Structure 1
Amino acid sequence: MATWYDHPQYFDMVFRDETDAEVAFFEQAFDKFADGKVKRLLEPGCGSGRLVVGMAAKGYDVTGLDLSKPMLKYLRDRMKRRKLPGTYVLGDMTEMNFDEPFDATFCTFNTFRHLLDEAAAEKHLRSVAANLRVGGIYILGFHLIPMDADPECTERWRASHGGTNVSVTLRVMDFDRKKRQELLRVSVKAVKRNGKVEKIRSEFPLRIYTPTQAKKLLAKVSDVLAIEGIYDFDYEIDEQREFDNDLTDAVFVLKRI
Structure 2
Amino acid sequence: MPQQLMNWYDRPQYFDMVFRDETNDEVRFFEKAFAKLVDTPVKRLYEPGCGSGRLVAAMAGRGYELVATDNNDAMLAYLQKRLKRRGLPSELLNTDMTTHVCKPAVDAAFCTFNTFRHLLDADSAETHLRSVADSLRPGGIYILGFHCIPLDADPDCTERWSAMHGGTKVSVTLRVINFERRKRRETLRVSIKATKANGQIERIRSEFQLRLYTPAQAKTLLKSVDDVFEIASVHDFDYDLDEQRKMDNDLTDAVFILRKR
TM-score (norm 2): 0.97
In structure 2, what is the Cα distance between the partners aligned to 1:20 and 1:98?
Answer: 26
Shift of 1:184: 0.2
What does 1:221-236 correspond to in 2, within 5 Å?
221-236=225-240
State the one-letter code of the partner of 2:44: R
Q: In 1, distance between residues paired with 2:86 and 2:163?
A: 22
Q: 2 CA distance for matches of 1:245 and 1:186?
A: 27
What is the CA distance between 1:81 and its match in structure 2? Answer: 1.1
Q: Distance in 2 between matches of 1:138 and 1:44?
A: 11
Shift of residue 76, structure 1, vs aligned partner:
0.3
Where in structure 2 are the equivalents of 1:170-181 lying within 5 Å? Answer: 170-181=174-185
Q: Is the 2:67–2:91 Cα contact (8 Å) retained in structure 1?
A: yes
1:25: which partner in 2? 29
Offset, 1:98: 2.6
1:35 matched to 2:67:
no
Q: Deviations for 1:217-252, whole angstroms, at most 9, x for unmatched residues?
A: 000000001000000000011000011111000000
Identity of aligned pairs, percent?
64
What residue in structure 2 maps to residue 73 of structure 1? 77
1:160 deviates by 0.6
- 1:56-114: CA deviations, max 9, x gaps? 11110011100000000000001111121111011101111332000000000000000
Instruction: Please give the alpha-carbon distance, in whole angstroms, between the structure 2 residues aligned to 1:88 and 1:179.
Output: 33
Where in structure 2 are there 5+ consecutive unaligned residues? none
Structure 1 portions without partners, runs of 5+: none
CA distance in 1, matches of 2:184, 2:204: 26
* 1:240 aligned residue: 244
Taking the aligned partners of 1:97 and 1:241, their CA distance within structure 2 comes to 30
Q: Equivalents in 2 of 1:115, 1:216: separation in Å?
A: 16
Question: CA–CA distance in 2 between the matches of 1:93 and 1:60?
Answer: 21
- Structure 1 residue ranges (4+ consecutive) displaced by more than 6 angstroms after TM superposition: none
2:106 is matched with which residue?
A: 102
Residue in structure 1 matched with residue 167 of structure 2 by the alignment: 163
Q: Distance in 1 between matches of 2:202 and 2:7?
A: 11
Aligned pair partner of 1:61 in 61, 65, 69: 65
Deviates more, 1:92-101 or 1:209-218: 92-101
Q: Deviations over 1:105-164 (max 9, x none)?
A: 000000000000000000000000011000000000000001111111111111111111
Alpha-carbon separation, structure 1, partners of 2:247 and 2:239: 16
Are 1:15 and 2:16 matched, yes or no?
no
Q: Is the 8 A contact 2:57 2:83 kept in 1?
A: yes
2:206 corresponds to which of 197, 202, 206: 202
Q: What displacement does 1:35 show?
A: 2.2
1:3 positional shift: 2.8
